[in-house]
Structure 1
């Protein structure tokens, strides 16, 4: 076992190390470039034509679904009449 001085040193180290690491690694200049680069990779800026293509695809899918529903309803009506 150590003396009280060693225990004080260990306790100081245990308390100051996490605080020092928090201070060092939470500096904005340290990781700002990395965060900006990663954000641009994950969420690239939208292209102007991309949104129009997406809206057109959504409209086409809705129209296709509506046509299928109408066909199914017509089939049901035909079966009921016969």
Structure 2
């Protein structure tokens, strides 16, 4: 009985992790659970959100350019 029991335990120890790995890497599982959950947490951007973000980025770019120009003028004056 000892050898048969050890073989059964070894088969069980090897098949369980391999089976779980195989199941969790199925494309249907990924699409169904992971992608849907991600969309719940971070919904796709809406058009007005994208426009506001672009306007903010442009405003920050202008500020940075103005600051750099002011620094260059100060260096030239010295």
How far apart are residue 77 of structure 1 and its match?
Answer: 2.0
CA distance in 2, matches of 1:23, 1:75: 64
Gaps of 5+ in 2: none
TM-score, length-normalised on structure 1? 0.65
Superimposed CA distance per residue, residues 18-60 of structure 1 (whole angstroms, 9 cap, x where no aligned partner): 3443455556666754324311134311110111111111111
Q: Is 1:75 paired with 2:62?
A: no
Match of 1:34 in 2: 33
Match of 2:50 in 1: 51
How far apart are residue 78 of structure 1 and its match?
Answer: 2.1
Gaps of 5+ in 1: none
Whichever of the two has the greater Rg, that structure is 1
Q: How many matched pairs?
A: 78
Indicate how the Cα distance of structure 1 residues 17 and 77 shifts in structure 2: closer, same or farther if over 3 A, else same: closer
CA distance in 2, matches of 1:42, 1:64: 33
